[in-house]
Structure 1
Amino acid sequence: MTQIGIFGITGRMGRLLSEETTAAGATLAGGTSRSNPATTPDTLAAAADALIDFTNAEAAITHAEAAARAGKPFVLGTSGLNAAQEAAIAELAKRIPIVYAANFAPGVNLILAIAERLAAALPGETYDAEIVETHHRQKVDAPSGTAIALGRAVAAGRNTTLEQAGIESGRDGHTGPRKTGAIGFAALRAGQVVGEHTLLFASGSEHIALTHRSFDRRVYATGAVRAALWATSQPPGLYGMKHVLGMA
C-alpha cells in the first residue's frame, strides 16, 4: 500500500490531504508541522513512497530537495514561486518525478486546455484577453497561480509567452490605452471565497467567457493525492495535471 507523506500536515490543506489519502486507499506516512519539529523533511521523505507539498514558496525548494535526496516522487501545489524557484524545481525533476500544478481540480485543467484552443482561434489583435480571479482574504499572492496558468495558456495558444505578450494588472489612475495583445489580470480578495476564475475574450462585436468556481478545497486535495499515486510509477520528469488526467 502506497505511503504518502504530507508537508504541513496540520494546515488547512494538510488536514484535507490526510483525509483524501485514506479515502484513496493509501496509507499516511506522516507529515511535518511547526508544532512537531522532530519530523524533518528528510525523515518524512525516507518514510514515504510519495510526498505532497501545499505549504509556501519559501519552503517548497527545501521539501523538493529532501524528496530528491530520498528518490521519492514529489507533488507540488504551492503557488507564488518565482522564476528562480521554478527553475530549481525543473532541475530537481531530472532526478525524480515531480507533478507541479497551479490547480489540481480536474475542471480547471480542462479549462486550461480549452483556453489555449480558444486563444489560437481568437487573435490578440482583435480579441483582448482578461483574467479575473477571486480568493479568500487570507491569500497572500496575486495573481493566483491558476490565473497565471490561464495567462500562460492564452499565450501558448498565440504562439508566444506570457512575458512576451505583456501583462496588464493593477490598473490605477491615468494608464493610457490598453496594449494590443497584452493579457490582463485582476485579483479580488474577499471573505472566504475558495477560488473563482474567469477568462474573458472580448472583441468589438462579441465576448466569450470561461468560468470555473471551486466550492470546496477538497477538490484540490483529491487531485493531489491522485497525482501522488500516479507519480509513483513514472520516471523522473516535470509533469502537470494534464499528464495525470491523460490529456498529454
Structure 2
Amino acid sequence: MNQTPLRLLIHGASGRMGQALLRLAAENTDTLQVVAAFTGRSPAQRVVDGVPHFAASELSGAPAFDVAIDFSLPEGFDPILSLCVERGAGLVSGTTGISQAQRATLDAAAAKIPLVWASNFSLGVAVLDELVERAAQALAGWDCDIVESHHTRKLDAPSGTALTLGAAAGRGGAQPHYASLRAGDIVGEHLVQFTGLGERIELVHRASNRDIFARGALFAAGQLAGRAAGSYRVRDLLAG
C-alpha cells in the first residue's frame, strides 16, 4: 500500500537549516512533500526545484500542510505557531532565543496541537539527554561537569544543548557546572562528566556534519504527525 507523503511547511527556508531541510526532503519524496517554503524576504523565485516559495508576510495564505518545521527568528515564531494552532497542524521548532512569554504561548498551544521544541534535533543528543538524567539519578553526590565545544563564530555560551543536558542532569538531582570552548570549525561536541572518589564517567556526543540536525527535525516531523496534542521531546519520539 502506498503511503501518502507527509505535507511539510518549511518556515525559515533561506537559513542554513532551512536549506538543509529542503535538500534532504527532496531526497525522500516518497514519504515527504514540501508544500511551501517561507523566507523572511520576498523570494527571488516563486518556485525552486518544484517547491513554492513565499515571503513570511504571506504566511496566512499557506497551502494545507500536516506539520510545519520552523528554524527562523524569535520575531517569526509567533506567526507560525498561531498558524499551526489555527490549522490544527503539528509544529517542529528549533528557533532559539524565544522569550518567556513566547514559551508560555508555546505551552498553551500544546493543549491544542502536537509540537516539539528543541535546542538540538540530533537523535544522538536525544539519547544522551536520557543517559545523563539516568546517570545523575544513580550517582547522587557526584560532581557533574558539562564541557561544550563549537566553532569560533558561535556567540552564545553555554550552548543551548549544554543547558538542555544540564536540565536533564538537574532532573536527576545533580548540580551541573559548565565550560565552553570556541575553536576552529567544530560543529558541536558535548561532554558530560560525572566524577566520584577514584572514578569518572564520561558521556560524549560529537557532531561532524550539520545535516544531522535537519535529519532529526524531519524524523521528528514524521513521528509527530497524527499524534495527540501535547508537548513532546525528541527522545519521546524515538520509540515511534
TM range (shorter): 0.7 to 0.9
| Residue equivalent to 1:215 | 208
Q: Please give the residue correspondences for 1:12-27 in structure 2 after superposition, counting only pairs within 5 Å.
A: 12-25=16-29, 26-27=32-33
Runs of 4+ in 1 over 4 A off after TM superposition: none
> Measured at CA, do residues 229 and 69 of structure 1 come closer, stay the same or move farther in structure 2, by a change above 3 Å?
same
8 A Cα contact 2:21 2:215, kept in partner: yes
Instruction: State the secondary structure of the residue aligned to 2:223.
Output: helix
Matched, 1:43 2:43: no
Tell me the distance in 2 between the aligned counterparts of 1:12 and 1:206: 41
Query: What is the CA deviation profile of residues 157-200 of structure 1, one whole-angstrom value per residue up to 9, with x for unaligned ones?
Result: 12xxxxxxxxxxxxxxxxxxxxxx63211222333221110101
RMSD of Structure 2 on Structure 1 (CA): 1.9
Q: Which deviations, in whole Å up to 9, do the C-alpha atoms of 1:113-153 show, x marking residues without a partner?
A: 111111011113xx111111122233343322211111111
State the distance in 2 between where 1:232 and 1:149 align: 24
Alignment of 1:107-126 (within 5 A): 107-124=124-141
The answer to which structure has the higher strand fraction is 2
Amino acid paired to 1:202: T
Cα deviations by residue, 1:28-87 (Å, 9 ceiling, x for unpaired): 11211123275333233x432210012233432332122212221100112333443322
Is 2:178 aligned against 1:185? yes
Aligned partner of 1:175 in structure 2 is none
The question of whether the paired residues in 2 share the 8 Å contact of 1:137 and 1:190 is answered with yes
Find the counterpart in structure 1 of residue 166 from structure 2.
151
Q: Aligned partner of 2:171: which letter?
A: A
The correspondence of residues 222-237 of structure 1 with structure 2, limited to 5 A, is 222-237=215-230
Out of 21, 34, 38, the position equivalent to 1:28 is 34
Structure 1 CA distance for aligned equivalents of residues 200 and 162 of structure 2: 19
TM-score of the superposed pair, with normalisation by structure 1: 0.82
Secondary structure in 1 matching 2:203: strand
Gaps of 5+ in 2: 44-53
Change beyond 3 A, Cα 1:81–1:190? farther
CA distance in 2, matches of 1:141, 1:41: 30
1:97 and 2:131 aligned: no
1:10 — aligned with what? 14
Query: 1:141 matched to which residue of 2?
Result: 156
Q: 1:141 to 1:66 in 2, by over 3 A?
A: farther
Distance in 2 (alpha carbons) for counterparts of 1:185 and 1:82: 22
Which structure has more RCO (C-alpha within 8 Å, separation ≥ 6)? Answer: 1
- Closer, same or farther: CA 128–194 of 1 in aligned 2, 3 Å: same
Q: Normalised by the size of structure 2, how large is the TM-score?
A: 0.84
Q: Alpha carbons of 1:107 and 1:123: their partners in 2 closer, same or farther (altered >3 Å)?
A: same
Q: For residue 201 of structure 2, give the secondary structure of its aligned residue in structure 1.
A: strand
Measured in 2, the distance between the counterparts of 1:187 and 1:229 equals 33
Identity %: 36
- Aligned residue pairs total 222
